[in-house]
């Protein structure tokens, strides 16, 4: 059955016929918590993506909310942008929160 690749067009199967779109899945593990990237699923529609995300990433554990996003809708930084975008400025230590001592009595921070 898995080898049954009869094409609707009668010819060789195309990628569009055998490959579903990719969707990125974000799960939230509690109210107020951030939605975090969990992985990706293949699906044909948003509803289908939601179901597959639920089955693959949300059936175990304590997920309370799901987002699915078409992978193509994500704008990603390029590896070559790493310098300009992410150079943390280590020469200016005062820019990092760790530079500052936590006041006594503020242990919950």
Work out which of 33, 37, 47, 64 binds other proteins, going by CB under 8 A: 47
Token pair 């987002």 is found at: 67
* CA dist., res. 99 & res. 93, Å (int): 6
Helical spans, DSSP H, in 5-106: 15-18, 46-53, 82-86
Q: Which of 26, 29, 35, 48 binds other proteins (CB under 8 A)?
A: 48
Considering the complex, state which of residue 45 and residue 102 has its C-beta at the smaller distance from other proteins.
Answer: 45
Tokens in use for 82?
């790493």
Does residue number 68 form part of the binding site for other proteins (CB under 8 A)? no
Q: How far is CA 76 from CA 71, 73, 79, 84, 95, in A?
A: 10, 9, 9, 14, 26
Q: What is the DSSP letter of 105?
A: T
Q: Which of 24, 38, 41, 68 binds other proteins (CB under 8 A)?
A: 41
Report the nearest approach of other proteins to the CB of residue 17 (Å).
Answer: 8
Least distance (Å) from other proteins to the CB of residue 8?
4
Binding residues vs other proteins (CB under 8 A): 1-2, 4, 6, 8, 17, 20, 41-45, 47-48, 51-52, 54-56, 59
């Amino acid at each position: 059955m898995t080898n049954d690749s009869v094409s609707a067009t009668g010819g060789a199967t195309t990628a569009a016929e055998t490959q579903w779109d990719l969707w990125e899945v974000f799960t939230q593990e509690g109210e107020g918590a951030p939605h975090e990237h969990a992985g990706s699923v293949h699906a044909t529609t948003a509803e289908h993506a939601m179901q597959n995300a639920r089955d693959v990433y949300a059936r175990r554990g304590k997920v309370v909310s799901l987002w699915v996003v078409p992978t193509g809708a994500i704008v990603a930084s390029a590896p070559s942008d790493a310098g300009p975008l992410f150079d943390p400025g280590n020469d200016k230590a005062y820019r990092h929160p760790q530079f500052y001592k936590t006041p006594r009595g503020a242990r919950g921070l």
